[in-house]
Structure formats: C-alpha cells, structure tokens
Structure 1
Amino acid sequence: MRSTTLGHRGLIPVGRALAIDLLVLAALFTGAVLLGVLIHGRHAVAHEAVGVLALAAGLAAAILLAAVAGLTGSARTGRIAGAVALYAGVALLVRAAGLADPMNIWVLAGSVAMLGALGMLVLAVRGPVTGRAGRWAAGAVGGLTVAIVAVIGAVAVALPGRMPPAWLVATLDVVAWSGAGAAGIIALGAGARSRRALIRRTGIAFATLSAAHAVRIIAGLPPGSDPGAIDAALEVTAVAMLLVAAVAFFVAVLRGLRTHAAVPAPAPVDPVERSHDRRDADAPSPLGSVTVGPVTDGIRILTPALVAGEPAEGHDRAGGPPRRLTRTNPHRRGRPDRGRPPGRTRD
C-alpha cells in the first residue's frame, strides 16, 4: 500500500511536466499555422525565408546544447547536440538552400543524415553513455554518417543532375522518418520516467518530425517535394520545440552553476588553535560530504547519534579512551589485581 501511494505521488509531477510540454507544443503549432496563413499566396521568397528560419533555429539549438555539453562534460547532452546538428546541418540546410527536388540525390543525403541523427539519439537515451564503449559508438555513428554524406555531396557536385535509384531514395526516406517516430517515443518515455526534461522534449520534437513526414507520405508526395501546409507547420513546430528544449536546458545549467559558485567554501581550520576538548566537534564529518539522498537518509536513520555529532557508545565526548560500562550483574566480582602493574601487591 505504501509503495503504491509513493508511486502515485511520483507520477503527478511527471504528468504535469508532460502536460506543460504538450501545451507548449500546441502553442508552437498554432504559431506555425498562423505563419503559414500569413505567407499563403505570397512570393516564393517568403517560403524560403521560413526554411532559413527553421535552419537558424535548428543550428542555434545544436550550438546551445554543444555549449552545455562543453560546460558540464555530459556525454548524453553532447550526443543529443550531435543528433540535432546532423538533422539541421544536412536535412534543413538542403531544404533551405533549395537543393531538394523530388527523388534527387540531395534528398538521399538528408535521409542518411537523419538516420545518423537517430543513431546518436538512441545512444544518448539507451546506449552506453560513459566509458570507452560509449565514445567509440558515438564516434563511429557520427563519423560514418558524415563520411557517407560527404561522399553523396561529392557525387552530386561532380555529376550534377545525377538521379539515384528511386527505390533507394524512397526506402531510406520511409525508414528514416519512421525511425524518427520510434526514437522520439523511446526518448519521450525515457525522459518522462527519469524526469529529464531535455530528453523528454527532444523526444516530443522528433515524434513531431515523424508526424510531419508521415502526412507527406500518406498524401503520396515523393521525397523532396514541396511540403504542404500541415506538414510544413509540423516541421517548423518540431524545430521550435528543439530550440525551446535547448534554451530551457541552457538556462537551467547556467542557474545551477551560478548557485554552486555562490555557495561559500568552508573556512580552513587551524589545528594549532583547535582545543583538545573540542577535537571531534570541529573535525569535519565524512557524512557531511556525501550528497543527501536515499543512502544518506538510511545512514541518518541507522546512526542518529553519529550524524547529530554525539559520541558513539563507549567513547568519551572529548576523544579520550573508551569509558568502562557499568556492571549490571551484582553477583559478579572484579579481579582485585586488575589494572595494577606486575609485581605490585595489594596494600
């Protein structure tokens, strides 16, 4: 009964945070739809400006996450930054530069970059985060993705107008954006369970990206075609959600670093000026350096006297030798010569 109550109480903040994130997503989608209504029927430059705006937002999110990863040394944040950078630096760049045409080779490059971004996101959520294995896995996924995209770009520049096989472009397009939905759901569940806002919001953004391209695929439009009103609004919403997640995480980390720097360091204690009768009271306790958590709470419950600064049983408060316990059995008699040097007799 107790575990059920605690679990129910623990789910309330998670549900509230998820509800707030979904409200933010709905507000961003409303803004994207209004933006689409405003530019509807306008010159093509307005549509290109929206693509450039999405590219700028994606690159800004990647830069902020990379800065946080550099400040904190978090491998998980660095991999999320790598995933956002691969998506924004290739897929959004191809769209903003006007290189994407139906079934052309630049669409293939965007699909490959999206697959690499999914790999980085899965490594950030479920893969080895620390250690040599994590570094090798992240380096292999990122390096292989960049190498393949570079080869595709070189082929596109050397052979302009070269069309790759249609089945390859269509297959990678479906796999990439279906995988985006699966990875987004995994990240959303993991972030909600572990109460990590960055992972939860990144999962929401990738799931929204998958929904945007699912609308295009269901409508029967080929990869690289001009997006419709709904799928364009969903993609802009997803990029904006990535930027919101990055900004919120960056502000939270800066606030935490500022709070940590504002805490004054304990003044050093001179052992010469320390009196003998207050040796144990002035000495730093090893329990004070442990972060308060379930383990420390258990130590506090099991040893309240040690945590409160009182001496343990059988020890003097001034740090002297152990005190002798009072005998409770009146029939036991002590040895008369105990505690006397050898060779001495009773007077």
Structure 2
Amino acid sequence: MPRTTWPAILRPSTGARALVPGVRALAVDLVVLAALFTGAVLLGFLIHGRHAVAHEAVGVLALAAGLAATILLAAVAALTGSARTGRIAGAVALYAGVALLVRAAGLEDPLNTWVLAGSIGVLGALGLLVLAVRGPVTGHAGRRAAVAVGALTVVVVAGVAATAVALPGQPPPAWLVATLDVVAWSGAGAAGIIALGSGTRSRRALIRRTGIAFATLSAAHAVRIIAGRPPGSDRGAIDAALELTAVGMLLVAAVAFFVAVLRGLRTQTPTPAPVAASDVGRAADDRDADTPSLFGTVTLGPVTDGIRVLSPALVAGQTAEGHDREGGPPRRFSRTSPHRRGRPDRGRPPGRRSRD
C-alpha cells in the first residue's frame, strides 16, 4: 500500500480548485454590492427631511435603473439569440414595468389594488427567472413555457389595473394582498438563492449577479414585513436603500454582460469560418475568466476562450447533435466503448479464416 505524505493530504482536490475562481468572483460581486448599499444609504441621508419630491425621486431613480438594465439585456438577447438572457431580461422587465412603475408613479397605498398588481408582476418575474436558471433553455418547450408565463402575467396585471381604475374606492381583500406580498417576496429570496448558487457553481456572471439582486430585494421587503408594516406603506431607510442597491446590482450585471459581448465581438481572433454573434453571447454567458473584475472579466475568459472550443457545426450557425446546454460545447460521444464486443477475427494474420 503506497504511503501518503502530509503535503499530498493537505493539497486541495481538483473539485476544490475548480471552485476557487467562482468564489473569488462572488467575493468581488459582494464588494460591489456593499459599495452600492453604501451609496444608497448616503443618498438616503442626503434627502432625509427634504420635501416629498426628493423621496419620490428615489423611486424614479430605481425605475430608470431597472428600465436601463432591461434595455441592455434585451439588446444582448436580440444580438446573440440567447434564450437565457432573454428570459432574464423579461424577468427584470416585469419587475421594473410593474412593481417599480407603480411605486415611482405614487400609486401605492397600504393594501390597495396597485400593491396587488405589483405582487403579481413580481411572481411573473420569478417564473421567468426560474425558467432561465433551471428550466429547459433550448427547444419549443422552454420557449412555450416562457411565453406562457409572460403572457399570463401581463393579462392578470392588466385585469387588476383595469379594476383599480374602474373601482378606485373598493380595495381588494386585505388578506389577499398580504398573502401575495409574502409569497412574492419569499419566492424572490428562494429564486435569488437558487440563481446565486447556480451562477457561482457554473461561473456564469449574469445569473450570479441576478441572483444576488433578487436575494437583496427579498431582504429589503423582509425588513418591512418583520417591522409589521403593511404592503404599500412608506419605505423605511434600510429597506429603501436595500431595494435601490438591488436594482443597481441588476444594472451592473446588465452593463457587464453588454460590455463583455461587445468586447468579444470587437477583439475576437480571425478564424477561417465566420463566428456568429449568437456564439459570442453564449460563450460570454457561459464562463467567467479565472481573474474576476467589475465588468465580468471581459479581458481573458468569457468570449475568446468560449469561441476557441466551438465545434465547426456551431461556427457555421448550425445546431449540432447533443448541444442541449446553452453556452457550452456540444456533448462528444466516443466511438469506442470498453464494453464493445470485438470482432472474432481481429488480430489474426491475413489468410484463410477458420470455420471453427
């Protein structure tokens, strides 16, 4: 039995070494999150005691950041054809276009109909986020599921908004508003943690940062729920700062991914066959580089390394067999197997074969 030395025992395994770059990238993202929270707290102290317009300006700023993140992600999804990026863009659009818009327009009151519409929009955003992280990425099943979730959310929100306009003096049942509020923001925390773990393990910066943002949103509303304030009430200093921090993190994720794709398209090495823009975006979404940075490590890893491992079928813009993982190389099936039966006459010298 071979002897095992102490340095060999203390040396980290291959799986542990593979997790180091993802952990370092997560640490950088948490530093960015802390910086955004500090800026949001300082902004809250700056406008404290001012007139009501200054407080509404925070809601307008969050709405502007959310819409900017939606536009950038939608642009990358249209440029690259990435289904995952499109679903994340849809999730951010539902959150910004319903919950943030209602708050910025000043339509929220405690337990009113507009708060119910915001909770429904958040639930739809969580559905698209879960489909982007854990659902089928390619094929008709994933596309139909994403369209169904988005269309159903828009129809329900439109119906609730029409009810609020037609019957302004009749609020919905308080238990319904409170229940959907708790379910929506608890689900935001669960979906954010799932996206955070999946993005850290697979080293996908966009999914990891989106997960951090939704987990922070859940923490912001958890502060309000624990304090006993009803849905739609005035924001406290901490939960308002946390929500603005989360929207800022969404904007950071969108800008980083947009810059990564553009830089990959501009600095890709010349190849005999043209590389499609969709392959660049999928490679950018697939991996971070070994050295993390604030802009998604766009120099070393996510674009050029991904292009280099693309198969000829993907370079030509075709779909290769076994390519069921967006952003990664197709599965390669070996032509030989250790359990394959050999030919009985293999290895014999040429000549007449025996009949035995």
Task: Encode CA deviations 1:293-344: one digit per residue, 9 max, x unaligned.
Answer: 8989x99xxxxxxxxxxxxxxxxxxxxxxxxxxxxx9xxxx9xxxxxxxxxx
Higher relative CO (Cα under 8 Å, sequence separation at least 6) belongs to 2
The equivalent residue for 1:310 is none
Aligned residue for 2:13, secondary structure, equals helix
User: Structure 1: which 4+ aligned runs deviate by more than 3 Å?
Assistant: 1-4, 264-267, 287-296
Q: Which has the larger radius of gyration?
A: 1
Counterpart residue number, 1:220: 228
Alignment counterpart, residue 204 of structure 1, candidates 194, 212, 216: 212
Q: Is the 8 A contact 2:216 2:243 kept in 1?
A: yes
Is 1:140 the equivalent of 2:148? yes
Report the equivalent of 1:251: 259
Amino acid in the other structure paired with 1:228: G
Give the Cα–Cα distance (whole angstroms) in 2 for the partners of residues 186 and 293 of structure 1.
24
Aligned to 1:78: 86
Q: 2:174 aligns with which of 166, 172, 187?
A: 166
Give the deviation of 1:153 after TM superposition.
0.7
TM-score (norm 1): 0.76
Q: Distance in 2 between matches of 1:147 and 1:158?
A: 16
Equivalent pairs: percent with the same residue?
79
> Is 1:25 aligned to residue 26 of structure 2?
no
Question: Using the alignment, how far apart are the partners of 1:264 and 1:8 within structure 2?
Answer: 35
Deviations 1:29-52 (A, max 9, x none): 000000000000011110111110
Partner Cα distance (2:245, 2:142) in 1 = 31
Q: Residue type of the partner of 1:212? A: A
Note the alpha carbon deviations across 1:132-167, whole angstroms, 9 max, x for none: 110110011000000000001111111112200000
Instruction: Please state how far the C-alpha of 1:128 moved relative to its aligned partner.
Output: 1.1
Q: What SS does the aligned partner of 2:73 have?
A: helix
Mapped partners of 1:263, 1:149: distance in 2: 48
Residues 184-232 of structure 1: per-residue CA shift (max 9 Å, x gap): 0000001011110000000000000000000000000000001100000
1:241–1:288 CA distance, 2 compared to 1 (3 A) = closer
Show the counterpart of 1:154: 162
| Equivalent residue letter for 2:270 | V
Task: Tell me what 1:263 maps to.
Answer: 270
Change (3 A) 1:95 1:264: same
The aligned length equals 281
Instruction: Give the whole-Å Cα distance in 2 for the aligned partners of 1:156 and 1:289.
Output: 55
Matched, 1:98 2:106: yes
Query: Is 2:183 aligned against 1:175?
Result: yes
Amino acid at match of 1:71: L
Q: Residues of 1 paired with 2:311 and 2:204: CA distance? A: 27
> Counterpart of 1:88 in 2: which secondary structure?
helix
Q: Structure 2 unaligned runs (5+)? A: 1-7, 275-309, 316-327, 336-348, 352-356
TM-score, with structure 2 as normaliser: 0.74
1:65 matched to 2:73? The reply is yes
Q: Quick one: structure 1 residues 130 and 266, their matched pair in 2 at CA, closer, same or farther if it must change by over 3 Å? A: closer
Unaligned 5+ runs, structure 1: 268-286, 300-328, 335-347
Cα offsets for 1:3-26 (capped at 9, x unmatched): 962212111111100000000000
- CA change 1:133–1:266 in 2 (3 A) is closer
* 176, 187, 194: which one aligns with 2:195: 187
Q: Distance in 1 between matches of 2:121 and 2:331?
A: 44
Q: Please list the CA deviations of residues 235-288 of structure 1 after superposition, one character each: whole Å capped at 9, or x if unmatched.
A: 00000000000000000011112223x515479xxxxxxxxxxxxxxxxxxx99
Amino acid across the alignment from 2:244: V
What letter matches 1:66 in structure 2?
A: A
State the partner residue of 2:137: 129
Q: Does 1:109 align with 2:146?
A: no
- State yes or no: 1:45 paired with 2:50: no
* Structure 1 counterpart SS, 2:108: coil
**Could you say which residue in structure 2 is the equivalent of 1:242?**
250
